[in-house]
Amino acid sequence: MKNTLDWLVSLEAFFGKPVAILNAQPRAHLADAALRETLRTMSACIVESASVGIALDAKTLTEDGMLASSQVSGTISSALDALRAAVLNGVFSNGPAFPIG
């Protein structure tokens, strides 16, 4: 994660981009808060309606497990729908540099 943020912070194209935060362990609220602060410092626009906590357990740690759980897959799907809607509604001053269709 740190390497990804290090790469993104140097890209001017990242400024103002919408971001969804998916927290795989909601009880890790300090890590979530630190990531949010880092992204705000990097001038990302956090889409709160697309940022969710998902309590993963041993059964839902894999891709197949996530897909098998209607609660997990539904939460992720809803978060992605909210992110897409925010982007398509032009909520952000600096829209994405890639097409969304």
Residue 30 lies in a domain: yes
Q: Distance between CA atoms of 15 and 62, rounded to whole angstroms?
A: 32
Indicate the pLDDT class of residue 100, thresholds 50, 70 and 90.
Answer: low
Residue 61 lies in a domain: yes
Residue 15 lies in a domain: yes
Q: How many residues does this entry show for the chain?
A: 101
Structural domain total, the chain: 1
Range of the domain at 17: 2-88
| Residue 70: per-residue pLDDT | 92
Q: What is the mean pLDDT of the chain?
A: 85
Beta strands in 3-101 (DSSP E): 18-19, 22-23, 45-46, 52-53
Residue 46 lies in a domain: yes
- Has residue 20 got a pLDDT over 80? yes
Beta strands in the chain (DSSP E): 18-19, 22-23, 45-46, 52-53
Residue 59 CB contacts under 8 Å (≥ 6 apart), including other chains = 65, 68, 69
| Residue 93: per-residue pLDDT | 55
| Segment among 13-17, 28-32, 93-97 with least mean pLDDT | 93-97
**Average pLDDT estimate for 5-14:** 79
